Copies of this chain bind each other. A is one copy, B any other.
Amino acid sequence: MKKLILPLMATLLTTLPALRADEGMWTFDNLPLKLLKEKYNFTPTQEWLDHVRLSAITMGGCSASFVSADGLMLTNHHCGRGQIGSLSTADNDLLTNGFVARTRAEELKTRMTVRVLQQMQNVTEKVNTAVKPGMSASAAEEAKNKALQEAVEEMGKSTGLNCSPVRLYQGGEFWVYGYMAFDDVRLVAAPELQAASFGGHPDNFTFPRHDLDFAIFRVYKDDKPYTPAHYLKWSIDPLKEGDLTFVIGHPGSTNRGMTYNQMLYARDVTSPISVKASERSRSVLLDYGKISPENRRAVLTQLLGVENSLKNGTGYYTALLDEAAMKKVKAREDELRDHVNKRPDLKKEAGQSWEQIDKALASTRTLAPTALMASAAPSSVLSSLRSTVAQIETGNAPQAPRGGAAGGRGGANQPAPRADLELMQLEAWLKDVQATLPAQNDLVKAALNGLSPAQAAKSIVASPMKEESARKSLIDGGKTALATSNDHAVVLARTIYKITTENQKRQADANAIISDHGSRIARARLAVYGKDTYPDATGTLRLTFGPVEGFEANGTIMQPFTTFGGMYDRYIGWGGNEANAHDGMWALPQRWLDKRPNINPDEKLNFSHSVDIIGGNSGSPVINKKGEVVGLIFDGNITMLPGRYYYDENNNRGVSVDARAIIETLDKVMDAKHLVRELIGK
């Protein structure tokens, strides 16, 4: 990692307003209306709030919104990518070519289910009263989960809605959210993948950006276009620097409510191993790709996925390593602890909670690194043996693996296993096991078995246990056969099972304590500061807001908007399609060259704004004070990633597709004037 120190560029921002705090992923029951009024002189009416809430859609892992009377749904291309890929045929790869349904009959049915939040019910009291005096942390946790599940079922029965439990403020509040669900969602229009993700992995989490990362679907009900009671109108007002924007969406997960020591645990115990694992995968895939162009092609998608994880993971890890920022986290916690210690009621409730969480962390700290290394073992024979060992040890046949959720960035289908690649991955893992853990560690002994990493890798993949019949014999031999086997792979799988099972037990015990005391701290925080605060992201509906503005980076200030002209600048700046620089990351589909004379180079393409978002917000509508669509969230800048742990108002920015760019693309490039009419009525 390379540290860059920016010059003191606060200089340059002198025409911007003084430091603001556009922080917060607010729930709709607790919006910062006073702040909005004071800072932006804006007070949304209840109608405005209901309207935008009922126009918002969750895809599970991504966000979306209704944008026409006939149920058009706007989201990111990367949120629909898996579906768009699946709808491709041998003749027509929709990721390469893009897609427009010329008529409603041509709209292509996907396998998506989407939901719209209708009701929110606070069941905190009911859940908390399920905890009886004298219960252990684990028993209390179980009782709360049971009570919450009952509340979900009750609300489901009484409303007919699709209901889900929601745990806010580290368990300081419990809610049930009721949704309308739609399982007939059809693809209407999508640009080419190359235009949607122009700049590819390198540009991921950055701005200035030039991505048409949108896709349009239509929600159907009873085989007819659904006509939602609420949908967002398209803005025709030109968005400018400084304009206030709102984002309505479903941020997935943040850890800002963690204690300082939990963050240090992540910094010192889990994050380094996770970053290291991504680095290892990436290094092996790169080496493998160097062997032949065919190899390179075969692992490219996997490589992009790993590089995305690495960029993400490094961003999070970086946040934890930032001493100045972490000092602020600590100072805020110290302040809360002072308050708690001064109020007898809070001291009784939460005075010991930080220490209790520290103890829980200590109980998992020794084993966690070994368990994390153990569960990362990359080998198909070990994977198969893990099920076998579990079956022998528990007596239960393994469950079939669950299907993955729709959407998710870079989450391409796992490629068919390649024996040569697997051997390289295994050897790299063995090297890291050897380098990371002490020689006397059980995992090291079982994994290496006295051999070098290269020899050990060969020995493991040579195991007869790669045959299903051999594993079946092992199952037939039962615990005795398992315990006495000398096969390298079996010994290793047995050790991994033992380590991960013990670790899971310790983690579960620790989590019960962390959950209990985390919620005590959260309740204390609410008691001290009131509800002028927001809960960590939980994949549920939130509102965040802030102005369109650039930020300081690379020694200068980033412009708030990019244009189509800028997209061509980057295309040419990298040498065009002929140069194929960096595997064609900044290449353009031929249509974008052919139709360039039609495109207004000055039309706005993407913009940067101070909104507080995180993964899961992808596809969220960006709206103005009128509640009209001005953009579409698809990413953040690189300095948004620390937002997992804390908010940095100077550097955290959301990155959106400008609504005008979607119209320009539909109109000038995709020849979809019928959709332009449906969206903007002309």
A404: CB under 8 A from chain B? no
Count the A residues whose beta carbon is within 8 Å of the partner chain — how many? 68
CA distance A604 to B569 in the complex (A): 9
- Could you tell me which residues of chain A, from 617 to 648, have a CB within 8 Å of some CB in chain B? 637-639
Query: What's the least CB distance linking A552 to chain B, in Å?
Result: 8
CA distance A279 to B554 in the complex (A): 20
Query: Which single member of B555, B559, B573 contacts A561 (CB below 8 Å)?
Result: B573
A327: CB under 8 A from chain B? no
Interface mask (A566-604 → B, CB under 8 Å = 1, otherwise 0): 101110111100010111001000000000000001101
A347: CB under 8 A from chain B? no
A528: CB under 8 A from chain B? no
A466: CB under 8 A from chain B? no
- Could you tell me which residues of chain A, from 540 to 573, have a CB within 8 Å of some CB in chain B? 552-563, 565-566, 568-570, 572-573
A322: CB under 8 A from chain B? yes
A208: CB under 8 A from chain B? yes
Query: Which single member of B2, B562, B602 contacts A5 (CB below 8 Å)?
Result: B2
- Could you tell me which residues of chain A, from 4 to 26, have a CB within 8 Å of some CB in chain B? 4-9, 11-12, 14-15
CA distance A477 to B566 in the complex (A): 70
Query: Which single member of B5, B570, B601 contacts A321 (CB below 8 Å)?
Result: B5
CA distance A311 to B307 in the complex (A): 33
**Known A1-B5, A3-B4: A199·B556 in contact at CB below 8 Å:** yes
A324 to chain B: closest residue by CB? B3
Query: What's the least CB distance linking A4 to chain B, in Å?
Result: 5
A318: CB under 8 A from chain B? yes
- Could you tell me which residues of chain A, from 650 to 682, have a CB within 8 Å of some CB in chain B? 650-651
Given the complex, which residues of B lie within 8 Å of A650, measured CB to CB? 2
Query: Which single member of B205, B579, B582 contacts A557 (CB below 8 Å)?
Result: B582
Query: Which single member of B15, B311, B321, B552 contacts A7 (CB below 8 Å)?
Result: B311
Given the complex, which residues of B lie within 8 Å of A565, measured CB to CB? 565-566, 568-569, 572, 601
Copies in the complex: 2
Query: Which single member of B5, B205, B282 contacts A555 (CB below 8 Å)?
Result: B205
A374: CB under 8 A from chain B? no
- Could you tell me which residues of chain A, from 307 to 332, have a CB within 8 Å of some CB in chain B? 307, 310-311, 314-315, 318, 321-322, 324
Given the complex, which residues of B lie within 8 Å of A575, measured CB to CB? 240-241, 560-561
CA distance A321 to B602 in the complex (A): 42
Pair B568/A601 contact, Cβ less than 8 Å = yes
Interface mask (A271-292 → B, CB under 8 Å = 1, otherwise 0): 0000000010010001000000
Given the complex, which residues of B lie within 8 Å of A563, measured CB to CB? 568-569, 572-573
Given the complex, which residues of B lie within 8 Å of A638, measured CB to CB? 4, 6-7, 554-556
Query: Which single member of B314, B322, B586 contacts A8 (CB below 8 Å)?
Result: B314
Pair A573/B562 contact, Cβ less than 8 Å = yes
**Known A557-B202, A560-B573, A568-B565: A2·B6 in contact at CB below 8 Å:** yes
Interface mask (A50-73 → B, CB under 8 Å = 1, otherwise 0): 000000000000000000000000
A201: CB under 8 A from chain B? yes
A7 to chain B: closest residue by CB? B314
CA distance A197 to B539 in the complex (A): 47
Query: What's the least CB distance linking A626 to chain B, in Å?
Result: 21
A206: CB under 8 A from chain B? yes
Interface mask (A325-362 → B, CB under 8 Å = 1, otherwise 0): 00000000000000000000000000000000000000
A16 to chain B: closest residue by CB? B582
Given the complex, which residues of B lie within 8 Å of A282, measured CB to CB? 11
Query: Which single member of B279, B579, B582 contacts A12 (CB below 8 Å)?
Result: B582
Interface mask (A113-152 → B, CB under 8 Å = 1, otherwise 0): 0000000000000000000000000000000000000000
Residue of A4, A241, A558, A574 contacting most chain B CB atoms (<10 Å) = A4
Given the complex, which residues of B lie within 8 Å of A579, measured CB to CB? 240-241
A432: CB under 8 A from chain B? no
Given the complex, which residues of B lie within 8 Å of A574, measured CB to CB? 241, 559-561
- Could you tell me which residues of chain A, from 468 to 496, have a CB within 8 Å of some CB in chain B? none
CA distance A556 to B199 in the complex (A): 9
Pair A572/B5 contact, Cβ less than 8 Å = no
CA distance A489 to B446 in the complex (A): 81
Query: Which single member of B3, B201, B566 contacts A3 (CB below 8 Å)?
Result: B3
Which A residues lie at the B interface, using CB under 8 A? 1-9, 11-12, 14-15, 199, 201-203, 205-206, 208, 240-241, 279, 282, 286, 307, 310-311, 314-315, 318, 321-322, 324, 552-563, 565-566, 568-570, 572-575, 579, 581-583, 586, 601-602, 604, 637-639, 650-651
Can you pick out 28 interface pairs between chain A and chain B where the beta carbons lie within 8 Å of each other?
Answer: A1-B6, A2-B5, A3-B5, A3-B322, A4-B639, A7-B314, A7-B315, A8-B310, A11-B282, A12-B201, A12-B202, A14-B286, A15-B582, A208-B573, A240-B575, A311-B555, A553-B553, A554-B554, A554-B637, A559-B574, A559-B586, A561-B572, A561-B574, A563-B573, A565-B572, A566-B569, A569-B569, A569-B601
Considering the complex of A and B, which 9 residue pairs feature the smallest CB-CB distances, nearest first? Answer: A555-B638, A566-B569, A559-B573, A7-B314, A206-B555, A5-B318, A554-B554, A202-B556, A561-B573
